[in-house]
Amino acid sequence: MLFKLLRVRAAQLLSSFTGAASEKKKRSKGYAVMIIIVVVICAVMLAGMFVVYFMQMCEAFYAAGIGWFYFAMAGLVCFALCFVGSAFMSSYQLFRAKDNELLLSMPIKPGAILGSRMAALVMMNYLYGALVIIPAGVVWCICAPVKPFGAVAFVIGSLLLPLIAVALSALIGWLISLVSTRVKHKSLITMIFSIAFLALYMWGYSQIFSYVQKLIENGAEIAAAVRRAAPPAYWFGVASESGSVPEFILFVLCIVPFAIAYAIIAANFTRITTTNRGMKKTKYREKNLRASGARAALLRKEYRRFTGSPMYMMNAGLGLIFMLVLAVFIAIKQDMISMIFGELVPGGEESAIVTGLMSAGLCFCTVMTLISAPSVSLEGNKLWILRSVPVRTRDVLMAKVLCHLTIALPFSVIASAIIAVSMHLGTANTVLLILLPASATVFSAFMGLFFNLMFPKLDWLNEVSAVKQGASTLIAMFIGMGSVVILVVLYILLSGLLGMKLYLTLCIVFYLVLSAAAYLYIRGAGCRKFESLTA
């Protein structure tokens, strides 16, 4: 039975971007090729970034006689990436999947259910870890001699690292599930912790260049500290660099925590997934009932879905956080930025250039806001409820667009206003700086719903699949980013023919025209497409 569940999980991973798992809904080969190309491009870009980092570290550490520290750092980075990739998914994937009770009602051992779910996390972590481990291995082969058993130890150790990350993330997911059943406003609390974790992660990522430089300058001292504080990293490094058998055996024993975590969770899996501790009951207070129209009720439903799911908020609303971070950073560093642009663009033309660059930055952030992109998919097997309610399909779909707009537009306008005031751009530039990201927000809202109608994913087992792994989310994000890049490149090519203000105005018109075309599709063919969907 375990192998059958593993095949099901593997099939779900392979079809996670198709929006359908049944034979009747298979996508064309061209669609599959497009998805593969996008994924490969992203993987190559990330792997290339790690190649640059590892090239710097490999030469310095090997020359200093601490080659093991190079592998130790590669192992730590791989572990961190795998842990970050699975930490937020473990609670939903292991304990909150909607088919848990269905599977537990069948003659299937809880350990087999848990094992198949943890295997899915491990497979995802192998994909994350490959972005680090493969560049690290290739760089070492180019820059330093390779010992046969060291290469074997490196490969086997790299296969064990994701298991250790999954063990830790599974225990954290278990704790989150236990806590979430006892606290009120659990979505808000989860959101606060998620934002704090993301802020810490982004801060660490922003400092990565300085960290690499410090590692190179103080490699011996930091290596000694890592050897004392993280013995598994030391064992992995020594085994990979010199092929030492004792250190390799010690590192292999680190898989024991994975087995312990699996045994503990498997023994309590049924109780964790089926226990409903309830909440403190709220006393009923009589008050007048306020009636509202169908559109307002549908819009409130979309708000509740967005604010009631931390996973939805964190993944679909990430661009909103980036917009505010960008605006605050520019407000704090306005003197430095003004000086840079003043040196690059002499003659008082920096205001127009600043307006264009800041508009591009804000547009890039706003197209990363994907609230509408998974909104149809999130209906899942409850789609029949919307289909049975006596409301117009157009109102149902426009509620999803309006939810996106009413959440994202205030962030866009506020961030634009902060930047405009901080950089003293003037009235005309300020208007353009506000209107262009706002028009990109409208474009993102309509395009997200358009692609979700084209590629819905209604057969998900947890919201993570619909939000993070749906084809519509991926396509909407890359189409939005591609539009910003294309507009920037076009300006570079046409800068001698068009002024910045005129070009920004044309960009606003471009986004609004595309939004209008998507709106017309949603009103007509989009409504018919939605009415034909089946969960």
Average pLDDT over residues 117-122: 81
Nearest Cα neighbor of 113 from 98, 100, 96 is 100
Instruction: Output 221 or 27, whichever has higher pLDDT.
Output: 221
Residue 165 has pLDDT above 80, yes or no: yes
Record the pTM: 0.64
Residue with tokens 């663009």: 345
Instruction: Check residue 382 and report its DSSP letter.
Output: G
Q: For residue 23, what are the CA distances in angstroms to 15, 18, 26, 28, 64?
A: 11, 11, 6, 12, 58
Instruction: Output 22 or 465, whichever has higher pLDDT.
Output: 465
Q: For residue 316, what are the CA distances in angstroms to 25, 28, 320, 373, 464?
A: 25, 27, 9, 8, 11
Q: For residue 453, what are the CA distances in angstroms to 269, 378, 439?
A: 36, 12, 21
Q: For residue 233, what are the CA distances in angstroms to 70, 224, 252, 254, 286?
A: 10, 12, 12, 10, 62
Residue 346 has pLDDT above 60, yes or no: no
pLDDT digits (tens, 9 = 90+) for 365-387: 899 899 999 999 888 888 888 87
Instruction: Output 372 or 100, whichever has higher pLDDT.
Output: 372
pLDDT digits (tens, 9 = 90+) for 470-518: 788 888 888 888 899 898 888 888 877 788 889 999 999 999 999 999 9
pLDDT digits (tens, 9 = 90+) for 247-257: 899 888 888 87
Average of per-residue pLDDT values in the chain: 79
Average pLDDT over residues 119-128: 83
Enumerate the domain spans of the chain: 2-9+55-274, 294-531
